[in-house]
Amino acid sequence: MFGKIQLEQFTGLTSMPQDFASAWSGCGLDNLVGASYKPLMCVGKQQVKGTNYIFLAEQKLIVHPPLRRVVKLTINKFGDAYELVDVEEI
């Protein structure tokens, strides 16, 4: 536990814990226009209003030439709904 964030780790998308996989697939990242994301690491989860799932991800912006960078991505689950609430460049 670090700053009320329960730290997690996984080695790839196929070994991601089910609740993290549900957050990743449930927040609509595949429907975004102009950017794509690939999970690199799960940082942890935090109980707030719902649950925040925190990831490190590779962001690819669709510009010419394509821009790739590492970002911290926060997905919130409240009730049965997932929402992408923050993308922060590392």
Mean pLDDT by 10 residues, the chain (90 residues): 56 75 94 92 92 94 90 97 95
Burial 1-12 (b: 16+ CB within 10 A, else e): eeeeeeebeeee
Please give the model's pTM, rounded to 2 decimal places: 0.83
**Count of structural domains within the chain:** 1
Residues 6+ apart with CB under 8 A from 70: 40, 56, 57, 58, 59, 89, 90
According to the model, what pLDDT value does residue 1 have? 43
Domain enclosing residue 20, as ranges: 5-89
**DSSP 8-state class, residue 10:** -
DSSP 48-71: ESEEEEEEEEEEEE-SSS-EEEEE
Looking at this protein, which amino acid is placed at residue 80?
A: D
According to the model, what pLDDT value does residue 81 have? 97
